[in-house]
Amino acid sequence: MVHPHSDRHDRFGELSHCVIRDANITHPFWTYCRNFRHTQHPEELNCGEAPRGWIYASGLFEGYVRIPWNGNNEPYVLVSVECSVCGRQTQEGIMVEHESMEIGFCSNYHYVQWWKTIHEDDSIDTAHFEIPPER
């Protein structure tokens, strides 16, 4: 994945696609991965390259933290959800698709707490996220 160049606005959607993971990137300027590099020739990058780590999104604003995608499923933020962890209703939550279901979260913390039950990765730690207040 590379940032589309200003002279290629007509190809923004095409260039906002991860060819390594075959994933659409809807927020390319707020999406991150270890395979990312700046280049003048984005079409020449990443062909045949193996994925390194997870794709990350900005998540809900709690400083400058990142939350991992659920595989190729991008977490959507600032959406109305009921948290699957604590049951809290919020207009500014996180929603992600998992096994054809939409799952909601009230915070980055609860999203990552759930994410760790699905994905085994000790490098992802909930300690960087704000713990939501008790209901």
What integer best gives the mean pLDDT of the chain?
82
C-alpha separations of 1 from 9, 22, 34 in Å: 16, 10, 10
- Residues 134 and 131: their CA atoms lie apart, in Å, by 9
Distance CA 60, CA 69 (A): 13
Q: Domain residue spans in the chain? A: 1-53, 71-127
Among candidate residues 15, 118, 117, 129, the one with its CA nearest the CA of residue 67: 129
Contact 1, 31 (CB under 8 A): yes
Taking the whole predicted model, whether its pTM rises above 0.95 is answered as no
Check residue 81 and give its pLDDT.
98
Rounded to whole angstroms, the Cα distance separating 31 from 95 reads 16
| pLDDT value for 39 | 59
Tell whether the model's pLDDT for residue 23 goes beyond 70.
Answer: yes
Segment holding 31, helix H or strand E: strand 31-32
